[in-house]
């Protein structure tokens, strides 16, 4: 395990956490476009992080469907103290989502995210942002964080399925979603269903860093299939899930 603490750069104090987290408390979710997160991650750090998606093993935990997904999973302890965010790499473990019927009772095992990726500047910047969002929404300051690097692969005649479980709740306290790459596909429309009965909201994450953050207790969500424009295409997503460390 590695212990490393960083302090959020001064420029990120204008990243909108108070406004964005306020919207999540009100609506259950927020959609953030690339320009709204400008300055959060440097271009070189973002490209380094995007490169980690080029070395993902096939997700063998999907039953009964064609191979369409590649994935790695890692875990962090993240502690928030104002603008200071501390990171500790946790041992890899099975991943459970008993809140989703498709995965209930299943211990899913994924190849780990390398430590150098977990502690890379780009990933730490995004996780720091998400952790401060989660703390602003929930009040908890010590988080067990799941890091998912997921590539959905679409091929001619075989759509990629970002959410084979359909409309669902993830079973976490909060979740951050950051698009890393979208090439050669159409579709992939995200639909958010607020618990309070408000109309569903549909959006498509198109550019790297287009993002969503939600309180998992306040909404359900789903993503439509990714359809290859030619012979194949990909949709790369960084998913960051938060649960209280205790």
β-bridge partners, 69? 152
Q: For residues 146 and 161, what is the distance between their CA atoms, to the nearest angstrom? A: 21
pTM of the model: 0.90
Yes or no: say if 205 and 212 are a contact pair by the CB < 8 Å rule: yes
Q: State the pLDDT at residue 14.
A: 54
Number of helices and strands (H, E) in the chain? 4, 13
* Contact partners, residue 182, CB within 8 Å, separation at least 6: 188, 205, 206, 207, 208, 234, 235, 236
Q: For residues 208 and 214, what is the distance between their CA atoms, to the nearest angstrom? A: 19
CATH code: domain 3-9+17-244 is 2.60.120.620
Yes or no: say if 235 and 182 are a contact pair by the CB < 8 Å rule: yes
Q: For residues 73 and 56, what is the distance between their CA atoms, to the nearest angstrom? A: 10
As averages over each run of 10 residues, the pLDDT of the chain (246 residues) reads: 41 70 97 93 96 90 67 95 93 69 66 95 97 97 96 90 79 95 97 94 97 96 94 96 91
DSSP three-state, residue 234: strand
Q: For residues 149 and 179, what is the distance between their CA atoms, to the nearest angstrom? A: 10
Q: State the pLDDT at residue 8.
A: 38
Domain range summary for the chain, segments of one domain joined by +: 3-9+17-244
β-bridge partners, 193? 220
Closest CA to 74 of 60, 57, 91: 91
Q: For residues 194 and 217, what is the distance between their CA atoms, to the nearest angstrom? A: 10
Q: For residues 222 and 49, what is the distance between their CA atoms, to the nearest angstrom? A: 25
Q: State the pLDDT at residue 187.
A: 96
């Amino acid at each position: 395990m590695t212990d490393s603490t960083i302090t959020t750069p001064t420029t990120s104090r204008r990243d909108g956490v108070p406004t964005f987290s306020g919207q999540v408390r009100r609506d259950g979710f927020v959609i953030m476009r690339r320009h709204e997160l400008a300055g959060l991650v440097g271009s070189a750090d973002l490209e380094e992080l995007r490169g980690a998606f080029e070395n993902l093993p096939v997700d063998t935990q999907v039953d009964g469907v064609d191979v369409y997904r590649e994935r790695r999973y890692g875990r962090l302890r993240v502690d928030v103290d104002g603008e200071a965010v501390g990171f500790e790499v946790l041992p890899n473990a099975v991943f459970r989502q008993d809140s989703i019927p498709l995965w209930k009772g299943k211990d899913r095992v994924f190849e780990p995210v390398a430590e150098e990726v977990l502690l890379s500047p780009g990933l730490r910047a995004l996780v720091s942002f998400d952790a401060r969002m989660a703390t602003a929404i929930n009040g908890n300051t010590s988080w067990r964080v799941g890091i998912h690097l997921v590539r959905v692969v679409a091929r001619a005649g075989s759509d990629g399925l970002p959410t084979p479980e359909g409309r669902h709740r993830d079973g976490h306290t909060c979740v951050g979603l950051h698009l890393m790459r979208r090439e050669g596909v159409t579709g992939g429309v995200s639909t958010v269903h607020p618990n309070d009965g408000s109309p569903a909201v549909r959006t498509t994450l198109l550019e790297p860093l287009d993002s969503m953050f939600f309180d998992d207790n306040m909404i359900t969500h789903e993503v439509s299939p990714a359809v290859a424009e030619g012979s194949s295409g990909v949709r790369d997503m960084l998913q960051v899930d938060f649960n209280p460390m205790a």
